[in-house]
Amino acid sequence: MEVLSKFSMEGANKRCTPLDAGVRLTSEGGQLDTARFPYSELIGSLLYLSVYSRPDISFAVGALARHMSKPTVEHWNVAKGVLRYLSGTQGLGILFAGRLELSGFCDSDYAGALSRRSTSAYVFLLGNGAISWSSKLQPTVATSTAEAEYMASAAAIKEALWLRHLLHDLGVGVEAVPLRCDSTSCISMLVSPISTARTKHIDICHHFARQRVERGEIRMVQCTTAEQVADILTKALPKEKLRFCISGMGME
């Protein structure tokens, strides 16, 4: 409510999605007069919300944040669209209920950015509610969907191990953390650590994930794309899939 009030959007027309499916933001278009339109301030406020309580806007805000140095009029209008979405979902929050069982989803959107880099995403649940989530561009360009998923899994496994140790320190026992992935090729590379001509080029920093799966600290679980909750953090989704992912993160 404070953010909406700050940017005079309390009575704005409501939206059912933060970003239209298929939209790709570019640097082309009329430059925004940042002296009149506080783009950086708006994105900073949205980033705060996306990090602390609203994972459903993380992808849209991350895409907008990449244009902080030279925003265009289109970027400003898209950012206001996120505010309209927030106006229509003011009561949406994360509900924690059920047993303290840690589980996660990881996903990637292959070459979705204009730079051809892929987006890595993960979300971890505890008590059926999201406690940790991320949506970030990968540091290097993946040459295949399987490689992009592999890199996303490695990032998710790092977070899973940290959460596992944190819960252990709090007296909550966690054995193998189930991590759901919709790529059979990625799971195969993690479960069967065999080097092939198609995987030898992958940076060694991602291969630690195999060792953690071998140790039994992480358990890779196959899921379908339709069941992939982390999809919401890799791309703009249509209304039906967005609602499924929101529900899957324990948001009501």
What is the C-alpha separation between 147 and 150, in angstroms, rounded? 5
Query: What integer is the mean pLDDT of 112-138?
Result: 94
3-class DSSP state of 76:
helix
Strands across the sheet with 129-137, in order? 129-137, 119-126, 103-109, 177-181, 218-222
What is the C-alpha separation between 131 and 201, in angstroms, rounded? 34
Question: Where do runs of H (alpha helix) occur along the chain?
Answer: 2-6, 39-52, 58-65, 73-88, 145-169, 184-191, 208-215, 239-248
197 pLDDT above the threshold of 50:
no
196 pLDDT above the threshold of 60:
no
For 103, the enclosing helix (H) or strand (E) is: strand 103-109
For 147-169, give the DSSP string. HHHHHHHHHHHHHHHHHHHHHHH
Show the domains of the chain with their CATH numbers: 2-88 (no CATH), 103-248 (3.30.420.10)
Q: Tell me what pLDDT residue 144 has.
A: 87
Q: Tell me what pLDDT residue 194 has.
A: 61
Give residue 24's identity as a one-letter amino acid code. Answer: R
What is the C-alpha separation between 224 and 58, in angstroms, rounded? 22
Query: What integer is the mean pLDDT of 126-149?
Result: 93
- Do 104 and 160 contact (CB within 8 A), yes or no? yes
- Do 14 and 88 contact (CB within 8 A), yes or no? yes
The reply to whether the predicted model has a pTM over 0.85 is: yes
Angle CA(188)–CA(193)–CA(196) in degrees, nearest 5? 85
